[in-house]
Chain A
Amino acid sequence: MSGLARCGLLAALALGVGCAASAETFRGTTYEEPAAAEDFVLSDQHGNPFRLSEHRGKVILLFFGYAMCPDVCPVTLSTWAKVREQLSDRADDVEFVFVTVDPERDTLERLAEHLAVFDESFIGLGGSTEDLDSVYEAYEVYRNKVSFSTSAVGYVMDHTSNMFVIDREGRLRLSFPFDSRADDVITDIRQLLDAP
Chain B
Amino acid sequence: MRRCGLLAVAALLAACAAPADPPSLGLVVEDAWSRPAPSGGVGVVYMRLKNEGTTADRLLTARSPACESVELHRTSRDGDRVTMAPVVEGVELGPGDTLVLEPGGHHLMLFGLRQALAPGDRLDVVLELERRGELTVSSVVR
Contacts and interface: CB of A to CB of B under 8 A. Distances in A.
Contacts of A179: 103-104
Given A116-B38, A153-B71, A161 B82 contact: yes
A89 interface: no
Interface string A41-62: 0000000000000000000000
Interface of A: 67-72, 74-75, 78, 113-114, 116-118, 142, 146, 148, 150-153, 156, 158-162, 175, 177-179
Contacts of B104: 71-72, 75, 178-179
A158 B103 contact: no
A144 B84 CA distance: 11
A137 to B, nearest CB: 16
A151 B71 contact: yes
Q: Which DSSP category, helix, strand, loop or mixed, fits chain B's interface?
A: strand
B18 interface: no
Contact of A142 (B35, B81, B86, B109): B81
A152 B68 contact: yes
A48 B68 CA distance: 34
B111 A153 contact: yes
B80 interface: yes
Interface string B80-108: 11111110100000000000000110010
A150 B83 CA distance: 17
A3 to B, nearest CB: 51
A71 B81 contact: no
Contacts, number: 87
A22 B17 CA distance: 72
Interface of B: 35-38, 40-44, 68-69, 71, 73, 75, 77, 80-86, 88, 103-104, 107, 109-112, 116
Given A72-B104, A152-B68, A146 B86 contact: no
Contacts of A67: 41-42
Contact of B82 (A68, A70, A151, A159): A159
Contacts of B88: 150
Given A70-B110, A72-B75, A72-B104, A117 B83 contact: no
B115 to A, nearest CB: 12
B76 to A, nearest CB: 10
